[in-house]
Structure 1
Amino acid sequence: MKKNIILFVYVTFIFIHLFSFFNKYERLFLKPGYYFEYNISNNKQVNFNLFNISKFPVLDSNEILSKAWSQQRSLIGGQIMVESSNYTHAISSSNAMGLLQMKYLTGQDLYVYNLFDPYDNLKGALEYHGYLRLLFDDEKKQIAAYHDGPSKILKNGMTSSGELYYLKVKEQQKKYQNRKIYSPFIYGLSFGYDGLNLDVEKINTSIYLSAAYRKIEFYSDLYINLSKKSDIIKSDFNFEISVLYYPSTVFAFGIENLSGVIRIGLPWEHFILKFYNDPEFSYFKKINDIVDFKAILRNNYSKLGFGFKYKNIQSDLYYEIFSNSFIFEIKLF
């Protein structure tokens, strides 16, 4: 922790220019908390980005549980607390998603459209519980199979992990009361310095907000850019709003000012395409818990590289094709 604080103090004294860091259309799927990103390249560009992913209430648990007609509402309410702590965008280490932590393939089998929509996720979980109840006709095994998988319970009977999960759910069922259901809300600041052009110095700042509600994602950015040439300082202000509609777990589309935006894939592997104005293509793939790969292609800027994560620190190394430069990034979270 002490080393992280020293690193934070050191890099905040360095002026920075805005790069991509986490793509803004990826941040809503990160775990809640504070994130600090820093990068430097060999072409006189350095950058930092600080943002917080918090939770904001979107509805009451009693409201969503009014749709639970096939299971005890207090049971499902307790299970939601165990699975996701009432957070719509929770993602587990095994890539289960949403309020009741369903896998993507399970959601497909149950015709669940968007696992991050609390109502869709609940619908899938209720149908899955109905299937497990018919299969076992035993509440304990039904709940254990939700966690361990039905094939494991059928083969081995009650497991220690299934028993522990069952006890957690029943304990939360006893404690159940109306609570808030939360979705992500992000606010952040990016700041940077660009000294690539010897005649012009640039300082770029961005203040941004983003949030998710059911199948809608909202993004806003305020850009404040300063440039200095021959002791003449010019300023430029720009405000952008983006809205994405998210009908499916693996597909979202919308607008970013005069550009169209499409996102295809899951949080750990996806494509993002911007078209019409200032086209851009990006690809991200989480290879394992330590390594990921990212590529970004634009008209005059393209980079590709790998990221390496250890606990709450990630370092990324990219090669930028057009400027023939290397970019080193550090992320703290």
Structure 2
Amino acid sequence: MSGSAEFARPVGASWQARALLGRYGIALVLPALLGLGGVLSPAFVSAGNLSNLLLQSAPLAIVAIGQSFVMIVRGLDLSVASMMATAAVVATSFSGADRDVPGIFAVTAVVAIAVGLLNGFLVTKRRVSPFLATLATMILLQGLRFAYTQGAPSGNVPPLLRVLGSAKLYGIPYNALVLLGLAVVLGIVLHRSAFGRRIFIVGGNPVTGRLFGIRSDLVTIACYLISSALAAVAGLILSGYVGLVDNWVGQGYELDSIVACVVGRVSLSGGRGSILGALTGAAVIVVIANEVLLLGVPIQAQMIIKGVVIVAAAALYSSRETSSG
């Protein structure tokens, strides 16, 4: 009897250690990467570079927050990068003066609402898979954008958007402050509100949601609206950061945001995730990209490293789902 108890203790301890590592491991990865960057290149831990990391990570983190809402309700949003590019085109479609900023936000909001409603309608009412629905929306936005710009967008980004996208206040980027505000508000919505509880119920078990009288379709549509709106905000911020616009602003953010969420423990099968996890995942991706850039790694090797990160994230997700199942 005592022998079996002694055998059970290390097994139980080992299981608890794995559970803790699975739950909080991502919180250890980011400091480890920052430490590694400081060892590999002293310039990495300079105040200027850390400030630039915040500047670069804000657009991706904003998109990842929206993507996490959609993933928690068992969806995906592949249209976020195209929404970002569309918002950037809108930002340069006026005279380029600050007086146009309210109009830019109004037009962008209308487009984002239309895209979010379309995605949500296709997924909930027409029962199209989220992958195909948002892929179709992505292509539709690309076509409309190319038709409007004739393939060569032009115009100037208003100075106010330039400030929002690239300026800093005492070393803290304005876009990071925008990110902080959005993260706090949406974190409260997701984790402290009745609507947030409905999101987790719908994502975890739609049948249970219906038994509770939750209008699952409306909850899912709202999540796609949030994702589209945040992608539009990120697109305006990114246009201010870049200072110019083309039809491919934000390219790759659709996959990067999904990977960021998966790395941050947002489940692809729905019902589990957090805003903090999505933010941490986005930070991990940006830090890795920054480190390989400082080391002068060729672009081909950068793509390989990015692919390795995606594969590792997918393997980690699969391992977590298997162990939890």
Decide which structure has greater strand share: 1
> Shared fold by TM > 0.5?
no
| Length-normalised TM-score, structure 2 | 0.26
Return the structure number with greater helix share: 2
Give the TM-score normalised by the residue count of structure 1. 0.25
